[in-house]
Structure 1
Amino acid sequence: MFTKLFTPKKINQCEIPNRLAVTAMVANYCNEDGTATDRYIAYHEAKAKGGWGLIITEDYAVSEHAMGYQFIAGLWNDDQIASHKKLTDTIHQYDSKIFAQIYHAGRQSASFVNGGVQPVAPSAIPCPWLRQLPRELTIPEIEQIVEDFGDCALRAKQAGFDGIEVHAGHGYLIAEFMSTYVNKRTDKYGGCLDNRLRFIKEIYTNIRSKVGDDFPVMIRFSADEVVQGGRDISESRVLAKLFAEWGFDALHVSSGAYGDHNKGIVSPMYVSHAWTVDFAAEIKQLVDIPVFTVNRINDPRMADGLLDMGKADFIGMGRGSLADPDLPNKAKAGDLTSIRYCIGCMQGCVGKLLVGEAITCLVNPSLGQEYQLDYSKATTPKKVLIAGGGPGGLEAARAAAIKGHEVTLYEQGSFLGGQFKSAAYPPCKGELATYTNWITSELDQLGVTIHLNRQVTKELVAAEKPDTVIVATGGTPCKPAIKGIDKALVVTAEDALLGNVATGDQIVVAGGGEVGSETAAHLAMQQRDVTIIEMLPKICSDLDGVNKFNLMKILREYEVNQMTQTKVVEILDDGVIIENSQGQQTLPADTVVIALGYRPNNQLAEALSAVHNHVIVVGGAVKTSNAMVAINDGFNAGLSL
């Protein structure tokens, strides 16, 4: 099935057993002092077990003031070496190799995560995300940071890493010096290209002098910063040749910098697969050292094809490895349908970091829990009944079945997936369906009995006599007391998305949150005239900045009218009466879509709790949330039995 994906290739003297690389992603699993935790080690060990050829760790800070996140790794003093030696010893029990990525966050940091000091940068320009004014570095400070990089690289070697990757991309400090987007200096570190590269050249020279010629040293950089005034591929071609001439052993070609308007560093579902591959392909023509490519590559066949075409030498699958750390082993065995594919939602891997938390994964609830999970079979198998076939119920069934319990799932509807099925209908979200398909197949293999079109009642539970009932009935759409809300032209967002009802050409969507805005985009792409009515000052206020930016582009392109600080006061037979600071007016409408949130559907849970002594309630049946919370709740409930 694969021609090159599972062939070895050397970086310097280090032979990587295959071409699949886990690229560096911040996990926030370390101690605040930069030392490795059992959680951090087990997280990486899962990938080594899964067969990845090369694991590149998250950013190792070169000093205590270089951190961009509170709980990332660091090698700025000798006391940190021992804990990271435990990491490399663990990985070396397997065939995988492990490189430490080293970096300084520069302006992409904040005082509360980098030792209480003001962030630093080539010039005093704030990061779009962090927004804290950085201080311009002095030349003596630059010289000290150069030494810090070299010392950090040496400690990485002493800690048993097989190589290092210098992070010179994504808008961090080295990238800031290289780019006129941030670097406005007029001394020897600013201006012309050679001056802007002086910092990274001095860093490389310092590193090489301390680790020797045989130790692999690669560099990650953004071929296109995808921001106005930033570097693009034309300059990156020059950089690539210089990096190779200086002596770097491999080039990791990435893209982007921090900011909501940037699709590079964070590539959500709105971004096409393998969209930066041609940057790597161009650079590969200019150098004789290995080249890595990344960004939304999650299918092994896609990866192998890119290798066959000569686009790159290694394929990075960062978020693909979060979704399924066993992807390489499954691919090598030809078992592609069992791979749990990344869906590009960014809810756990990026969304959690944006609020300072450790990463999670919507489709992989075991992520970050590897060090404490127990998959051993239960000594006394139980009879488990699950009410609800949405994400929470499905995951509860999977986890309980893994533990060896007899599991039966009842879904009152005609399909599995619950509201997650309709969530795949809006623009660019079709890959969400892969999770439902995957877990349905897993349940079949695990022997879970599934009944569709069956509602769980007290009588059913009494007849089945389960030891445990898990209620995963999710939420139901809110239906506020708006005059006329029961008229025939009123439909729910879920029904509109699933095509359960036909919609007219003039559509009013009541509710401009994520669900309402995505439903509006879905209908607008059918060339309908759509208006969103939202009471808050802005629509999409419940979305992260990156996904909001991309969704808003679609709404603008398809001319969706957005009326904020406005409410629907009455629904007529052929329109709606709305009210805002300008007074009341009537909008014509053939269809009114209600997307005003959800409330917990907990009636069954209350009824069963009165007659059964072991009822567990998960997900939206407890509190309105999202699929990631429901999946995590279901997984933990099933595994705890």
Structure 2
Amino acid sequence: MTTTSNTSAPADRGGAAFPHVFSPIRIGTMRLRNRIMMPPHGSAIGDLWGAEDDAARAIAYWESRARDGASWIDGVRGRIRNPLIPGFEPHGYGAETEGNYRSPLFVERVRRFVSAMHAAGATVTSQLTVIGGVPHAPSQRLGSPLYNFRPHVLSRRDIADYVEEYRFSARRARLAGLDGIELHLNHDDLLEWFLSPHTNHRADEYGGSLGNRARFALEVLEAVRGEIGAGMTLGVRFTMREEAPGGYDAADGVVIARYLESTGLIDFLHLVIGSSWGDPSYIQPQFYEPAQWSDMAAEVRRALTLPIVYTGRVNSVQVAEDVLAAGHADVVGMARAYIAEQNLLTKAREGRLDEIRPCVGGNDCISRAYVERLPFGCAVNPHAAKEVEGPWGRAAEPGRLLVVGGGPAGMELAALAAEGGHSVRLWEAGDGLGGQLRIAAKAPGYDQYARYLDWQVRRLERLGVETRLGFRADADAVVADGADVVAVATGATPHLPPIEGADGDGAVEIRDVLRGAAVGHRVVVVAQDDHLPPLSVADLLSERGHDVTVVYATAQPAELLGRYILGGILARLHRRGVAFRLMEEVTAVRDGGVEVRNVYSGRTEELTGFDSVVLACGGDSDAALYERLRDRIARVHVLGDAFAPRRLVFATRQAHALARTLQE
């Protein structure tokens, strides 16, 4: 069923520095112009089967990347129907009822999607997925220790019904004109739960040996191949090893991969790593090395003849080239790097590497939608998911903009306004641009944030933004400048919590620690921040050999971190012996420790034996300049932390929104 070739598709011209990336290949029926695949990630960007504007937004996002050169768009969300008894309500992410393939709009909308991608030169596939445990499972054993909803164990009749649902979904995919199908055999999918010795404890023909555990997947593959025939490509997305104890390991993964190839039913294997909750998650955040597990994919590739796709923290075209050149894969998947930079391949092809906007790997693109229930947003690219609005245009009446404050919000606004044709000046009180993010970039795992800030500096230089460093502006200077519009992005000052002794010599602020302030061996971190900073300073100190305890008033650390990022940092800290005290509010800083009070019972306790106390308590907005200007300048705005301290993604999105009003 499989054909591979280096000459079957027209070469993607240019990109001499990346010969492997820009070489063509044929996989099954698909002729790919290069080796870049975009795996699924668009469910938060726009609903292809929702309102018309949702569908248009989804299509515009993927089409922009296909026009850039992405050769394989695995962008059609493919949840199959989840058969349930009347009245049963599934829970959590991945819980579906009718799924996508049963939507009356499926064929028409997917045909539109496929037509747009084909016109842009890309091939299109869709996944077939159903998540395990919501509520269906092979046995009573759950896949994660982090949830405890008891499942419904599938009977033989239930399994047969599911096989027919997969067959039906494949028929709909064929009618919609898709080029191929990818069977989801990973990331807590129901089929993975059957395949895994960790979650499959059945005693019938669907449990026990590998052949039995793989029986459900094999029946599905036979049904799908029987429906689509030889006219479409069929592959499997497969986890190379399981993270849960009792799951299959990397050596077992090679055996499973060989078994799947031996069926003769599939054209490729798409190899990934990680669980949906642990260390690593399958959407690996900033704490992992680029393509960290591609050598594991190479072991599978050496054992098989099928083409291999590798996805997992491939965060630049250079990393993609390295993976391909090393023989670790035939194709690489890139998602977040393409969210961050929609002209990724064009810039690489033209040798404009310093213009490629780097992905920081902070996973806000995932967490905003699924944890905070906010609109989709990329921390570094505020244009992402707004492609339907068209390219960033020139202002109808360009003016003079003064931006006061060179942190992330001020830098992004200055760049967007300059790209829109405005004359822009940027004043910054410090000796460099980047604001407090430049300080945060000193923590372990934050190197991409420093690269992002350096990219922003180069961007401002290319655009001719007049930057003045080391100048702390006052209201008179701003008024005297005479700009048409003023934007105040003066950031935030460290928040000093109302804790007895917090302003004394025994407490050190997190920013000072990151700058290099000395602390003792035993450190207690006062965490009044729901995101990464308290964990990051604990990471820095424990990496340097300090004994660290972190105190949270919440029931868990970092409540705004989603499951795709939390496991990675908590695993790092646990390995170094970092301790956590939860549901406790620090009420006093004492000589040699702190006093804590349980937020529920009110009981107090002295924590002693510490050498230093680190305050990781966020910031307070510094809007004093804005308040002084409101009555003196007609068009003055405030944004970023100067309005209310938040994360990078909030700063860049606010900058985009304000810049849009300036364009209008």
Tell whether the structures are fold-level matches, with TM greater than 0.5. yes
Q: Is the 8 A contact 1:26 1:72 kept in 2?
A: no
Question: Helix, strand or coil for the counterpart of 2:403?
Answer: strand
Residue 470 (structure 1) aligned with residue 470 (structure 2): no
Q: 1:462 to 1:296 in 2, by over 3 A?
A: same
Aligned to 1:236: 253
Question: Helix, strand or coil for the counterpart of 1:567?
Answer: strand
AA matched with 2:234: V
Residue 57 (structure 1) aligned with residue 75 (structure 2): yes
Q: Which runs of 5+ in 1 are unaligned?
A: 110-118
Aligned to 1:567: 586
Q: 1:300 to 1:354 in 2, by over 3 A?
A: same
Query: How much has 1:163 moved relative to structure 2?
Result: 1.6
Q: Is the 8 A contact 1:31 1:72 kept in 2?
A: no
Q: Is the 8 A contact 1:34 1:73 kept in 2?
A: no
- Report matched runs for 1:187-198 at 5 Å: 187-198=204-215
Percent identity, aligned pairs only, is: 28
Mapped partners of 1:522, 1:294: distance in 2: 29
Q: 1:308 to 1:462 in 2, by over 3 A?
A: same
Mapped partners of 2:548, 2:373: distance in 1: 37
Query: How much has 1:139 moved relative to structure 2?
Result: 2.3
Query: How much has 1:349 moved relative to structure 2?
Result: 2.2
Q: Is the 8 A contact 2:82 2:97 kept in 1?
A: no
Aligned to 1:15: 31
Q: Is the 8 A contact 1:27 1:72 kept in 2?
A: no
* 1:60-98: CA deviation from partner (whole Å, max 9, x where unpaired): 122266992679982225542111111111111222222
Query: How much has 1:37 moved relative to structure 2?
Result: 0.6
Question: Helix, strand or coil for the counterpart of 1:211?
Answer: helix
Q: 2:159 aligns with which of 142, 167, 175?
A: 142
Question: Helix, strand or coil for the counterpart of 2:230?
Answer: coil
Q: 1:343 to 1:334 in 2, by over 3 A?
A: same
Question: Helix, strand or coil for the counterpart of 1:37?
Answer: helix
Aligned to 1:156: 173
Q: 1:210 to 1:617 in 2, by over 3 A?
A: same
Mapped partners of 1:73, 1:625: distance in 2: 35
Query: How much has 1:354 moved relative to structure 2?
Result: 3.7
Higher deviation after alignment, 552-561 or 38-47: 552-561
Residue 423 (structure 1) aligned with residue 448 (structure 2): no
Q: Is the 8 A contact 1:170 1:225 kept in 2?
A: no
Mapped partners of 2:480, 2:96: distance in 1: 53
Q: 1:200 to 1:258 in 2, by over 3 A?
A: same
Mapped partners of 1:215, 1:621: distance in 2: 54
TM-score normalised to the size of structure 2? 0.88
Query: How much has 1:9 moved relative to structure 2?
Result: 0.2
Q: 1:4 aligns with which of 3, 20, 27?
A: 20
Aligned to 1:367: 384
Q: 1:360 to 1:58 in 2, by over 3 A?
A: farther
Aligned pair count reads 626
Aligned to 2:276: 258
Q: Is the 8 A contact 1:70 1:356 kept in 2?
A: no
Q: Is the 8 A contact 2:94 2:131 kept in 1?
A: yes
Q: Is the 8 A contact 1:188 1:195 kept in 2?
A: yes
CA RMSD of aligned residues (A): 2.7
Residue 87 (structure 1) aligned with residue 108 (structure 2): no
Q: Is the 8 A contact 2:32 2:123 kept in 1?
A: yes
Q: 1:638 to 1:139 in 2, by over 3 A?
A: same
Query: How much has 1:563 moved relative to structure 2?
Result: 4.7
Query: How much has 1:485 moved relative to structure 2?
Result: 4.3
Mapped partners of 2:71, 2:341: distance in 1: 15
Query: How much has 1:357 moved relative to structure 2?
Result: 5.3
Residue 624 (structure 1) aligned with residue 645 (structure 2): yes
Residue 440 (structure 1) aligned with residue 466 (structure 2): no
Q: 1:205 to 1:563 in 2, by over 3 A?
A: closer
Q: 1:626 to 1:376 in 2, by over 3 A?
A: same
TM-score normalised to the size of structure 1? 0.91
Mapped partners of 2:257, 2:504: distance in 1: 64
Aligned to 1:389: 406
Query: How much has 1:11 moved relative to structure 2?
Result: 0.7
Q: 1:144 to 1:355 in 2, by over 3 A?
A: farther
AA matched with 2:75: T
Q: 1:489 to 1:450 in 2, by over 3 A?
A: farther
Query: How much has 1:322 moved relative to structure 2?
Result: 1.4
Aligned to 1:524: 542
Mapped partners of 1:77, 1:515: distance in 2: 43
Query: How much has 1:32 moved relative to structure 2?
Result: 6.2
Q: Is the 8 A contact 2:77 2:126 kept in 1?
A: yes
Mapped partners of 2:108, 2:564: distance in 1: 38
Q: 1:509 aligns with which of 508, 511, 525?
A: 525
Query: How much has 1:199 moved relative to structure 2?
Result: 1.3
Q: 1:578 to 1:79 in 2, by over 3 A?
A: closer
Q: Which runs of 5+ in 2 are unaligned?
A: 1-16, 85-92, 598-602
AA matched with 1:123: S
Aligned to 2:102: 76
